[in-house]
A and B are shown apart, each in its own frame.
Chain A
Amino acid sequence: MGYTITEKILLRHTKDKEIHPGKFIDARVDLCLGNDITAPFAIEEFEKTGAKKVFDKKKVVLVPDHFAPAKDMKSANQCKVLAKFAEKYGIKNYFEVGRMGVEHALLPEIGLALPGDLIVGADSHTCTYGALGAFSSGVGSTDLAAAMATGECWLKVPESMKFIYYGKLSKWVGGKDLILHTIGDIGVDGARYRAMEFCGETIENLPMDDRLSMCNMAIEAGGKNGIIAPDKITSRYVRSIKNKAKPGNGRFYSSDKDAVYYEVKEYDVRKIEPLVACPNLPSNVRAAKKLNNISIDQVVIGSCTNGRISDLRIAAKILRGKKAKSNVRLIVIPATQKIYLEAMAEGLAKIFIDAGGVFSTPTCGPCLGGHMGILAEGERAVATTNRNFTGRMGHPASEVYLSNPAVAAASAVKGRIAIPEEVL
């Protein structure tokens, strides 16, 4: 019997001769990651072990991105814990404010996450790097502590689910809509503990930024990892990275023809329209055009899901020469400094500011109700982020509607949920 791409990568990273779903393995990690929320606990645990050094200075990544630039004194202290730890142990990949970006946008951009890698991160959206054909999964702080000390992480080999997408995408429909549609179909625990393998002709033609959005939200269906077999698009993406943080272009794996899947799902994407996940679950998905009576107070365009340059280009196409509704706060957050500079060079930043929006330094900020756009009681936001749980962006009685950047931009102009055709 053959192996899936997920199983092949896991097998390559263990001493075991064979693996199968359900088997527990100690996997060797190519990279482990923490941020200003999760790393402080990991560092406390690591120091308790009495370890004199991390397993590999180049394979530990620390990104203060959640509450950074520090929102208050307590957050500043947490960021300081990371900085001091990086200094003490000679961590090469510590990204200070000014060089940091939203972690899951930053790592692929600088070539720290490559095809075939096995990556664990103390952040649930670590599954993003599956877009490059890596096995990557979110873990906890203690896992990160253990990985920093030993270079290993215990994992249960997941069953795989295969999602096949075919047909041409409609206008203003992107990777975000594909994943929202999928989560809407299978539910927030529809892929619990499992690998989500995305494939089919639509995926083969899907740009890398959209693939990253899709794999990013595998966790919202309960998935252990999202993964797309590397191909020409992956190769082009990886080769185009300038000054790569580590050598090589990774290792390309693909699933065997006789690999075994728990379930196979097929979607005709021609039927998929721009979608919105309504409060309070990412699976509560409706067509955006049917929600035109939902008034909003805020729009957030950014995050590890949709804060990449192509997302900003889409939003700018809609906002060019237009204004956000007078009572709507439009907050645009490029996910990295590189994206920030590109947005400036392409005139996108000016379009957002002319539209009455703010154009912020990279941060996870509002996505998790941290800072830079917290909602008051009763307020509503349309956001290109990944979660809409109760109180996610602020007050427990505020609401978040998740969408792609085109719907978010159109909604900012209308002051209610809107589709691009309504403003163009």
Chain B
Amino acid sequence: MAYKGRVHKFGSDVNTDEIIPARYLHTTDKAELARHCMEDADKDFHKKAKHGDIIVAGKNFGCGSSREHAPIAIKAAGVSCVIAESFARIFFRNSINIGLPIIESKAAAEGIRKNDSVSVDIKAGLVKDITTKKTYKIEKYPPFMEKIIKAGGLMESLKKKR
């Protein structure tokens, strides 16, 4: 599991209303959700985001609603992974369940700047800021979660269990 992309930086307490406003929750069309991803935090995000890009944010990313539309919109917008100082719990479990890679790292969240080019190697436990040449160690997921992630999400992992 390795990713590389340009960074879009956000502050703390980015909530699910900003990630995908409720006015777009009348659909399950992932492409449509992607078009409005992060709209109330940065209305041009969808235009700027390129495939593989990385979101870096402060603490409590994804707080608020349980809407899975939030990680779905981020994933569908082409974002390869989200790095934050910390994540709100429902957003965290939703991301694990749908296979959106998320990384909790205070040092990386603080050190990485907007537009930096960053590579992530989850297996090696490393985040590299290619622009600043800084490296950040990241903790591994607990084995219970790793099983879900490796299977490609919760539903896939349940199929294997059966």
Does A150 reach chain B (CB closer than 8 Å)?
Answer: yes
In the assembled complex, B8 has its CB within 8 A of some CB on chain A: no
| A138-B90 CB under 8 A given contacts A40-B28, A389-B17, A390-B17 | yes
> Is B160 an interface position by the 8 A CB rule?
no
> Chain A residue with minimal CB distance to B144?
A24
Per-residue interface assignment for chain B, residues 116 to 133, with 1 indicating a CB less than 8 Å from any chain A CB and 0 otherwise? 000000000000000000
Contact A224 B94 (CB under 8 A): no
Task: Name the B residues within 8 Å of A49 (CB-CB).
Answer: 155, 158-159
Which of chain B's residues 1-58 have a Cβ closer than 8 Å to chain A?
Answer: 13, 15, 17-18, 21-23, 25-28, 40-41
Q: How far is the CA of A41 from the CA of B154 in the complex (A)?
A: 14
Please name all residues of chain A whose beta carbon is closer than 8 Å to the beta carbon of B145 when the two chains form the complex. Answer: 24
Is residue B98 contacting chain A, with contact meaning CB distance below 8 A? yes
A residues in contact with B68, CB < 8 Å: 38, 41, 122, 140-142
Interface string of B51-87 (1 = CB under 8 A from A): 0000000011001111111001000000000000010
Say how far A38's CB is from chain B's closest CB, in angstroms.
6
Are B25 and A37 interface neighbours, CB within 8 A? Answer: yes
Docked complex: A351-386 residues within 8 A CB-CB of B: 368-370
B88 within 8 Å of A (CB atoms): yes
A67 beta carbon closer than 8 Å to chain B: yes
Instruction: Please measure, in the bound complex, the distance between the C-alpha atom of A143 and the C-alpha atom of B91, giving whole angstroms.
Output: 12
Which chain B residues border A389 with CB–CB below 8 Å? 15, 17-18, 64
Question: For A67, what are the chain B residues with a Cβ–Cβ distance below 8 Å?
Answer: 25-26
Quick check: A193 and B89 within 8 Å, CB to CB? yes
Contact B89 A192 (CB under 8 A): yes
Is A59 close to B, CB under 8 A? no
The yes or no answer to A212 lying at the interface (CB within 8 A) is: no
Is B155 touching A142 in the complex (CB atoms < 8 A)? yes
Enumerate chain A residues within 8 angstroms of B148, measured Cβ to Cβ: 154
B101 sits at the interface (CB 8 A): no
| Chain A positions within 8 Å of B41 at CB level | 390
**B155 and A145 within 8 A (CB):** yes
Interface string of A228-267 (1 = CB under 8 A from B): 0000000000000000000000000000000000000000
Report how far A38 CA is from B65 CA in the complex, Å.
10
| CB neighbours of A268 from chain B (8 A) | none
Inter-chain CA distance A24–B88, complex, in Å, is: 17
Residue contact B153 to A142, C-beta cutoff 8 Å: yes
Interface residues on B, range: 35 or more
Selected interface stretch from A3-11, A71-79, A405-413: A71-79
Count class of interface residues, chain A = 35 or more
B22→A390 contact, CB < 8 A: no
Given the known A-B contacts A24-B144, A188-B63, A189-B60, are A142 and B154 also in contact in the complex, defined by CB atoms under 8 Å? yes
The distance in angstroms between the C-alpha atoms of A45 and B97, with both chains bound, is 11
CB-defined contacts of B22 to chain A, threshold 8 Å:
37, 66, 368-370, 392
Q: Is the CB of A146 within 8 A of B154?
A: yes
Chain B contacts for A142, CB-based, 8 A: 68, 94, 97-98, 153-155
Q: Looking at B66, B86, B93, B158, which has the most chain A CB atoms within 10 Å of its CB? A: B66
Per-residue interface assignment for chain A, residues 388 to 400, with 1 indicating a CB less than 8 Å from any chain B CB and 0 otherwise: 0111100010000
Partner of B60, one of A122, A126, A139, A222: A222
- Which residues of A are found within 8 Å of B27, using beta-carbon distances? 74, 78
A215 close to B (CB within 8 Å): no
Tell me whether A24 and B21 are in contact (CB under 8 A). no
Which residues from chain B sit less than 8 Å from chain A, CB to CB? 13, 15, 17-18, 21-23, 25-28, 40-41, 59-60, 63-69, 72, 86, 88-90, 93-94, 97-98, 142, 144-145, 148, 153-155, 158-159
> Mind listing 12 A-B residue pairs with CB under 8 Å?
A48-B155, A66-B25, A67-B25, A78-B26, A122-B66, A124-B66, A138-B66, A140-B90, A142-B68, A189-B88, A370-B23, A370-B25
> What is A's interface to B at a CB cutoff of 8 Å?
24, 37-38, 40-41, 44-45, 48-49, 66-67, 71-72, 74-75, 77-78, 121-124, 126, 138-143, 145-146, 149-150, 154, 188-189, 192-193, 219, 222, 224, 281, 368-370, 387, 389-392, 396
